Structure 1
Amino acid sequence: MRRQKPLTRSAAGLGRGTRIFLLLGLAALAAGPSTAPDAARSASLAVIPIKDEITDVLRRSVERRLEDARAAGAKVIVFELHTPGGLVTSALDICRLIKNLPADVTSVAWVNHEAYSAGAMISVACKKIYMSPSSAIGDCAPIMVSPTGGLEELPATERAKAESPVLQEFRDSAASNGYDPMLCRAMVTVGEEVWWIQSTTGDERRFVSAADKKKLIDDVAEAERKWKTVESLADPKSGREQPLVQPVDRPDTLLTLSQSEAVAFGFASGIVGDLDDLVGKLGQSGAPLYLETSGWETFAMWLNSPWVRGFLFMIVVVGGYIEFSHPGLMLPGITALVALAIFLGAPYAAGLADIWTFVLLGVGLALLAVEIFLLPGFGVAGILGGLMVLGAFLGTFIPREPGAPMFSLPNLQGTWDALKIGIFAMSGGLVMAMVGIVLVLRFLPQLPVVDKLILSNPSAEALAPQDPFASVGLVGDVGLVISDLRPGGQARFGNEVVDVQSQGKYVEAGKRVQVIKRDGGSIIVRPLTDEA
């Protein structure tokens, strides 16, 4: 089945991200004309892929594509999920966008091929869930990682703060869309067992906690039991009964469901092989409207990759060094400033950098200015300022944790991972910068254009003082003494009067002398009468 694609892209949904890139000089390229959708874009079903890490850039992209889908008249909107998760705040915003769709619009999550963490939260915000073959959904709990990389128990207060908004979102989605609340909770919270039980008559099944299972089964005499544990499940693909391992979720694990488990547990509506299969199961006809991320949205996400940010950091360091070591070139300084603006602006637009990083950067730069202009050589202000600037740069890699105060140490695995990535990117950028500086010192003055802008170091001959009378009083010239030589004095050679020095003998004025030696700027003479 052929997929329709939009003919134009609206920039209206980029919001704060567009303003950031305006400041970076990208607005002229990123902002496109906003046009009303035409008949060629109309479709009853639209597909919005949500892939890779979920950030604020992706959230704004989803918002824009939802507007395009609504403008095209889509009554079924499919969210194709292939994501490991991402920012909780961005995912919560996407969930609200989905739940705020009109009642006559059906939202469908298509897990193709994974929807972990924030991806699982977005999935349950939809009215229906479909799974692709070899797919998985779940694992949406905060985990604390120690600075050494080992797992540690999350304190109760911190766990409550981190889990609260996520649990509330799952509870609301379960109540609104008919998903089992026990399974939803098990995807977020550890420490609880989940059992799948059924009535002895076989007409009802439910998920219960270990306490409820004990109350309904273990504490009841076998002859009087009305409930029993489910021992097998029917594979949705083959239809064959397969043994079921109980409990469904253990206290030390987070619930993650395969495609077969999700369907058998009633969490997903079915398994689909491809988009055509999904369109058929949803009872739709015609080509779906496939709304992908725009080129500039993809570019904005690309700018936040560690490799790109490490390269930008290298440009900032090398460009700043060239500008300070060769004042007046301007181009390296401008390049460094543009790279710095992108280095700081891209993560802020993506929701990764918090406002405190820019406050820390401003204070650090102020301390560096104090060190340079007010207290040169003092050292303390410069060291503190440099550390603050580096800390601010590193902070642009670290998102704020949900429920955490503005200044707090990382508690969640994703935050520690982001910190490690930031250290790796900046260290790599610094190493590349040092190599670049060495190359600059070696080759920059030899470039055809730059060699005309940079003054070359003068030679030793050029630095030597010049004798204004270099052509006067050459060896063999004869002159007239005009002041007694004791042994120094003056003599006239032609029309020029110069200082001369005899060989140690007294010579009266009016005598004729001959130059016998020049030693630097000194002229050594002898009286001609000595030759007689």
Structure 2
Amino acid sequence: MLRRGWVVFGAALCAAMALAWTRPTAEAPTVPADAAFVARIELTGPIGPAAAEYVDGAIERANDDGARAIVLQLDTPGGLIESMRDIVAHILASKVPVLGYVAPSGARAASAGTYILYACPIAAMAPATHLGAATPVDLGGGTPMPAPLSNGLPKSGRSTERSAPDAAAQPEAESSKVLNDAIATIRSLAQMQGRNAAWAEQAVRGAATLTSSEALSQHVINFVAPDIDALLAQADGRVVQADNRPVTLATRGVTVRDYLPNWRARFLGIITNPTMAYMLLLAGIYGLILEVFHPGSFFPGVVGGICLLIGLYALQLLPVSYAGLILMALGVALLLAEAFIPTAGVLGIGGVIAFVLGSIMLFRTGVPGYRVNLGVMAGIACCAIVMLGLLLRLVMRARRARVVNGDAQMLQETGQLLQPVMAGGEGWARVGGERWRVRCEAALPAGAFVRVVGRHGLLLQVKAAQTGEGGSP
């Protein structure tokens, strides 16, 4: 069991350190330092702390390296609001113009990606891509969805206000605050970059979406480009605002330099994956449990402690439900209690149920891209059920097993007198390989076989064994 535990924790640690063989960073330039170039940053997958740190650092490096422009290539389902705001702030503060580009074909800039695209001075999309569905999801899992818009504006004709009946119909004031704040954010970005603010509000209020051609016709993006060369060619000569000053783009035929994540961003990307954070948390818990059951082995405790701390660090960066975390801890505690308290599986079954429910509730599934793999949860739940079944089987086997010690076992033992015993007298006998003081109501010679019929402290009450008992004639 201990060796199996070592394998599990070693695998978890190796997975967390997978960055050792991931692709190298782009710290070293791919073109001469004095050559003109455009920096490309690929933002793929959910937007979280790791993605924000990568994009922010890459924008700063591109500014320091003297890039003519930055292409922020998007393919994201959305993500966390705070991470999105960090990226938007760095885009607006960049001295080098940022060109938002939804690519390749089939990609999307949904939810938080729509805000980021609106923040870029130039917005473009590849064919067969889409954007929108930017309605914020509150951390409690609810989605504020007001009445649909009419012609891109609320029925009241005002962009950010609602009538008294509509406001009264909103179940929670906090949801209204989150929604109105998101609307104000995307409208301000649209007005700054001179794009369709009415549709931007509709994407937040009504989760509207657009394809690339529809976005171009509604002035949501600047143009459609099939590849990055076409993007740079169409952007060439345009005047945009970067860090509150006009900049004329000179991007036609310029070399593209990729800026890839550094080791820290890759490490954060690994541990902030909800499934990885979930597995690190479990590895830490079970590592410490193994150390408690096998004190002095050290390896499970050390690895478990490291995994637990990394998992907790990842959890504080993710949208976690603490009710789910407490349920998971309760489930583990009940499973451990089942091993010490014979409840015929009541505590164990309750522990499995609490553990599974806590795992499902651990991450708020309303945030795009932040879900634990259901197969992983199902596998761990099945393992817990199998372990519980094995534990109950061992308990039932122990209850049916023959008694091997105590008074009940002593009454079944036979022995041999080491000296003769007078009627009602006492003497010594060998019983169960041990010397005992015995008393017998009948006189028996030395060497006679006797059977124990009672015990009074350290004195055994015996009588002559029947034929066939204890090797007697």
Bin for the TM-score computed over the shorter chain = 0.5 to 0.7
1:189 aligns with 2:155: no
- Report how far residue 46 of structure 1 moved: 0.4
Alignment of 1:62-101 (within 5 A): 62-101=55-94
- Report how far residue 274 of structure 1 moved: 1.6
- Separation in 2 of the partners of 1:305 and 1:48? 20
- Separation in 1 of the partners of 2:440 and 2:197? 114
Contact kept in structure 2, 1:314 and 1:430, CA below 8 Å: no
- Separation in 1 of the partners of 2:252 and 2:133? 32
- Report how far residue 70 of structure 1 moved: 2.1
- Separation in 2 of the partners of 1:179 and 1:149? 26
- Report how far residue 26 of structure 1 moved: 7.0
- Separation in 1 of the partners of 2:305 and 2:26? 35
1:215 equivalent in structure 2: none
1:488 aligns with 2:425: yes
- Separation in 2 of the partners of 1:115 and 1:28? 27
Distance 1:145 1:325, change over 3 A: closer
Question: 1:44-71: CA deviations, max 9, x gaps?
Answer: 2001111111112211111121122223
1:352 aligns with 2:346: no
TM value normalised by structure 2: 0.59
Query: 1:188 corresponds to which letter in structure 2?
Result: V
- Separation in 2 of the partners of 1:184 and 1:388? 42
Query: 1:430 corresponds to which letter in structure 2?
Result: A
- Separation in 1 of the partners of 2:133 and 2:256? 31
- Separation in 2 of the partners of 1:145 and 1:339? 26
Which residue of the other structure, out of 438, 442, 449, is the alignment partner of 1:504? 442
Query: 2:449 corresponds to which letter in structure 1?
Result: K
- Separation in 1 of the partners of 2:293 and 2:364? 33
Q: Count residues with an aligned counterpart.
A: 371
- Report how far residue 437 of structure 1 moved: 5.5
Distance 1:183 1:170, change over 3 A: same
Question: 1:90-127: CA deviations, max 9, x gaps?
Answer: 1111111100011xx11100011211121111011111
- Separation in 2 of the partners of 1:79 and 1:143? 25
RMSD: 5.5
Contact kept in structure 1, 2:47 and 2:84, CA below 8 Å: yes
1:128 aligns with 2:122: yes
Query: 1:291 corresponds to which letter in structure 2?
Result: Y
Contact kept in structure 1, 2:41 and 2:58, CA below 8 Å: yes
2:344 equivalent in structure 1: none
- Report how far residue 183 of structure 1 moved: 2.9
- Report how far residue 340 of structure 1 moved: 3.3
SS for the counterpart of 1:288 is: strand
1:118 equivalent in structure 2: 112
- Report how far residue 319 of structure 1 moved: 4.7
Query: 1:265 corresponds to which letter in structure 2?
Result: Q
- Separation in 2 of the partners of 1:502 and 1:52? 86
TM value normalised by structure 1: 0.54
1:155 aligns with 2:170: yes
2:308 equivalent in structure 1: 340
- Separation in 2 of the partners of 1:429 and 1:269? 49
1:263 aligns with 2:200: no
Which residue of the other structure, out of 361, 364, 381, is the alignment partner of 1:398? 364
Query: 1:66 corresponds to which letter in structure 2?
Result: I
Contact kept in structure 2, 1:131 and 1:268, CA below 8 Å: yes
1:291 equivalent in structure 2: 259
- Report how far residue 276 of structure 1 moved: 2.7
% identity of equivalent residues: 21
- Separation in 2 of the partners of 1:310 and 1:173? 36
- Separation in 1 of the partners of 2:140 and 2:385? 32
- Report how far residue 499 of structure 1 moved: 5.7
- Separation in 1 of the partners of 2:30 and 2:446? 107
1:277 aligns with 2:227: no
- Separation in 1 of the partners of 2:198 and 2:367? 28
- Separation in 2 of the partners of 1:438 and 1:342? 31
Which residue of the other structure, out of 383, 386, 389, is the alignment partner of 1:432? 383
- Separation in 2 of the partners of 1:99 and 1:26? 34
Give structure 2 stretches of 5+ with no counterpart: 1-15, 148-168, 236-250, 342-351, 395-400, 430-434, 453-459, 466-473
2:98 equivalent in structure 1: 107
- Report how far residue 40 of structure 1 moved: 4.9
Query: 1:108 corresponds to which letter in structure 2?
Result: L
1:55 aligns with 2:48: yes
- Report how far residue 184 of structure 1 moved: 2.5
SS for the counterpart of 1:79 is: strand
- Report how far residue 427 of structure 1 moved: 6.5
2:268 equivalent in structure 1: 300
2:136 equivalent in structure 1: 142
- Report how far residue 337 of structure 1 moved: 4.0
Alignment of 1:197-236 (within 5 A): none
SS for the counterpart of 1:504 is: coil
Question: 1:289-316: CA deviations, max 9, x gaps?
Answer: 1123346534533444454455445545
Contact kept in structure 2, 1:323 and 1:330, CA below 8 Å: yes
SS for the counterpart of 1:289 is: strand
- Report how far residue 425 of structure 1 moved: 6.8
Alignment of 1:442-461 (within 5 A): none
Q: Which moved more, 1:85-94 or 1:431-440?
A: 431-440
- Report how far residue 128 of structure 1 moved: 0.5
Contact kept in structure 1, 2:47 and 2:80, CA below 8 Å: yes
SS for the counterpart of 1:273 is: coil
- Separation in 2 of the partners of 1:516 and 1:64? 92
- Report how far residue 173 of structure 1 moved: 1.9
Question: 1:419-458: CA deviations, max 9, x gaps?
Answer: x869997676434333356568999xxxxxxxxxxxxxx9
- Report how far residue 258 of structure 1 moved: 1.8
Distance 1:435 1:310, change over 3 A: farther
- Report how far residue 144 of structure 1 moved: 8.3
Distance 1:176 1:41, change over 3 A: farther
SS for the counterpart of 1:257 is: strand
Contact kept in structure 1, 2:98 and 2:122, CA below 8 Å: yes
